[in-house]
Amino acid sequence: MRRSPTPSRIPLPPLVLGLGLFLLVSLVCGVSLGAAGIAWAEVFRFLWAGLTGGTVHTDDAAAYTIVWEIRLPRVVLGAVVGAGLAAVGVAVQAMVRNALADPFVLGISSGAAVGANAVILLGAFAGLGVWALSVSAFASALAAMVLVYAVARSPHGLTPLRLILTGTALAYGFEAVTTVMVFGAARGEAARSAMMWLLGSLGGATWAQVPLAAVTVAAGWAWLRWRAESLNALAMGDETSAALGVQPGRLRRELFLVTAAVTGTVVAVSGAIGFVGLMVPHVVRMLVGADHRRVLAVAPLVGAVLLVWADVLSRLLLAPAELPVGVITAVVGVPAFLLLMRRGGYAFGGR
């Protein structure tokens, strides 16, 4: 007999509606706040002018550029990246049945770092101009995905343990290559830029990066929602899922491809932002239970809100300088994660 998922705790419709509204408010705050603060009224006026093709007075040209060309693509991309990391975190934890898994456990982000740093430190793919960093990071992420899949695959398919061990081992190898590149950099500023990327940053966000990232994340999330029932079965173990009519080996291969594609895409535009994909799934399960249909409806919204505000803090704390956004997610995530572990009503894989 099928075991039902953990009972839900908060009704889903009001929670989704509330998070959606909070996300909209967060986006406006993300545009308004920064080293140069801009009032909400001005933000709305500039956004309306940008959306409708209206005119802006020459005295407001600088503020309009900050709102429309710098901050708005940044906060929108931050929301997309946060949503993608949260959704993939849910999927990866179900795929490998490990509460400590996150989107980077497969080694994809470490592979992407090699390509990104080849551009930053060595000037590779310079002919691609502004696209060089994203294209190189995504290409190396795909190469890492192929390598992880080839090494982890066995006659029995992709098993959780082999995936984790292979991804972790290859991640160390990719990180070693990246470290050699950083230490061998001739320019200190290039090494600093590389470290910013390794810790995650949305400082280079442009409108050109948003569509591909948004489409990839939306498509990946839609597929995961479609397979949510199968994820429920897979989380119970391979034998149980097979008894329920789910082919665990095939599903795990599909999950690997989807999560790797989404992870590679978001890492290519934002760097390796940690803790979102690890912490958000656990927070959401506390709110709505363990049913993946409900978790996947809420997790992207929570991830989007979290990353938008983390980026705001990264801009404000040392303004006009910026901190890597991954530093903020870690500072917030570590105590929050430890607090979750101490709560008696939630168990990380068992009591």
pLDDT in tens, 116-144: 888 877 777 667 766 777 788 888 888 88
Report the CATH superfamily, name and number, of domain 12-342. ABC transporter involved in vitamin B12 uptake, BtuC (1.10.3470.10)
317 φ/ψ sector (left φ>0, alpha ψ -120 to 50, else beta): alpha
In the chain, the amino acid numbered 263 is T
Answer for the pair 278, 90: CB distance below 8 angstroms, yes or no: no
DSSP letter at 11? -
* pLDDT tens-place string over residues 86-103: 999 999 988 888 777 788
d(CA 264, CA 134): 10
CA angle, 263 as apex, 34 and 282 as ends, to 5°? 80
Q: Taking the model in full, what pTM does it have?
A: 0.88
**154 phi, psi to nearest 5 deg:** -135, 175
Kindly state the DSSP code that residue 154 receives in the 8-state scheme.
B
Among 169-173, 235-239, 280-284, the least confident range: 235-239
Burial of 49 (C-beta count, 10 Å sphere; 0-12/13-18/19+): middle
